[in-house]
């Protein structure tokens, strides 16, 4: 199944943005100007299944899928880099992670409504479940706007593969389903509550600043 997502940032998100990515409030006008230019380029979709047909996933109820922001985000970042505007490219990377968080929340809400179940855990491949599941998920969903390279890299870059564990009983908010922020490598997780300078760099930051 394919579903058009409409993630966007609100006025309440900017304090979290500054805290999460270590920007000062004086940077906000510039960041928000870039966001206004970026937002029309976001073409977000969820490709997903409510079938319990994945190897290695033994949960009684789950859904799985891809969430993507489309190619426009990557192209804007590459445009800034081609003009050696490194800071602006990094801001695009950070903004896209915030927008992805909104897309995850919207996707989780969609799955709850369609399944009649409640989200118990939001899991990204590489955390609880092996990345070896990626080709199987891709073959099941055949997403027309997402490509899997021979090296199993997903394009567009701002795309994630998720498994949503579901339950018949309601749990807590999606933002409170994870308590391992200090060690988690998933910087775009909507549950993140603990920004930390010791966390690994995002993929975009590694490309922009040539660090690992």
- Nearest-angstrom CA–CA distance, 94 and 170: 32
- Give mean pLDDT, residues 94-98: 93
3-state SS, residue 164? strand
Model's pTM, two decimal places?
Answer: 0.83
The string of pLDDT tens digits covering residues 130-178 is 899 999 999 999 999 999 998 889 999 999 999 999 999 887 666 555 5
- Separation in Å, CA 172 to CA 102, 121, 124, 169, 175: 17, 10, 18, 10, 8
- Nearest-angstrom CA–CA distance, 84 and 112: 43
3-state SS, residue 162? strand
Q: So what's the pLDDT on residue 168?
A: 92
The string of pLDDT tens digits covering residues 60-83 is 999 999 999 999 999 999 999 999
């Amino acid at each position: 199944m394919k579903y058009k997502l409409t993630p966007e940032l609100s006025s309440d998100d900017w304090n979290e943005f500054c805290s999460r990515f270590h920007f000062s409030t004086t940077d906000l006008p510039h960041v928000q100007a870039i966001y206004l230019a970026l937002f029309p380029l976001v073409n977000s979709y969820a490709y997903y299944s409510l079938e319990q047909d994945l190897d290695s996933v033994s949960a009684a109820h789950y859904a799985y899928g891809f969430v993507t922001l489309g190619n426009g985000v990557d192209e804007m970042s590459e445009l800034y880099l081609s003009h050696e505007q490194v800071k602006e490219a990094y801001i695009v990377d950070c903004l896209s992670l915030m927008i992805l968080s909104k897309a995850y929340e919207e996707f989780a809400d969609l799955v709850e409504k369609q399944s009649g179940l409640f989200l118990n855990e939001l899991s990204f491949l590489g955390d609880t479940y092996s990345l070896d599941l990626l080709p199987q998920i891709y073959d099941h969903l055949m997403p027309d706007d997402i490509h899997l390279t021979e090296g199993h890299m997903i394009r567009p870059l701002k795309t994630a593969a998720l498994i949503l564990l579901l339950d018949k009983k309601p749990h807590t908010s999606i933002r409170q389903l994870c308590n391992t922020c200090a060690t988690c490598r998933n910087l775009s997780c909507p549950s993140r509550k603990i920004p930390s300078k010791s966390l690994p760099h995002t993929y975009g930051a590694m490309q922009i600043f040539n660090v690992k």
